[in-house]
């Protein structure tokens, strides 16, 4: 399984450089871009390890022992 972290950081660096060049504040926006990209990469990695990243139907993956009555009880 490939890690999403390098891809996320690369996207963040790209966005940071573009915004930094536009605002003439490269250092700040490059740092912000790397931080956002790292978060994005971790999210991509977690989603990939959870089930592939595509939603196939309406099942959210949550399971419980509830009877559907809304009180949280299973009986």
Q: Where are the domains of the chain?
A: 5-46
Question: Whole-model pTM?
Answer: 0.61
DSSP 71: S
**Mean pLDDT of the 46-72 span:** 65
Whole-number Å distance between alpha carbons of 54 and 48: 9
| Predicted confidence (pLDDT) per residue in 8-54, tens digit | 999 999 999 999 999 999 999 999 999 999 999 999 888 888 875 55
Q: Single out the residue of 53, 12, 54 nearest to residue 29, CA to CA.
A: 12
Whole-number Å distance between alpha carbons of 39 and 69: 37
Task: State residue 47's pLDDT score.
Answer: 86
């Amino acid at each position: 399984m490939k890690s999403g972290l390098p891809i996320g950081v690369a996207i963040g660096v790209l966005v940071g450089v573009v915004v930094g060049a536009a605002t003439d504040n490269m250092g700040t926006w490059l740092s912000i871009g790397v931080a956002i990209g790292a978060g994005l990469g971790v999210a991509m990695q977690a989603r990939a390890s959870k089930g592939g990243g595509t939603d196939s139907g309406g099942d959210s993956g949550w399971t419980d022992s509830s009877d559907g009555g809304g009180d949280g009880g299973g009986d």
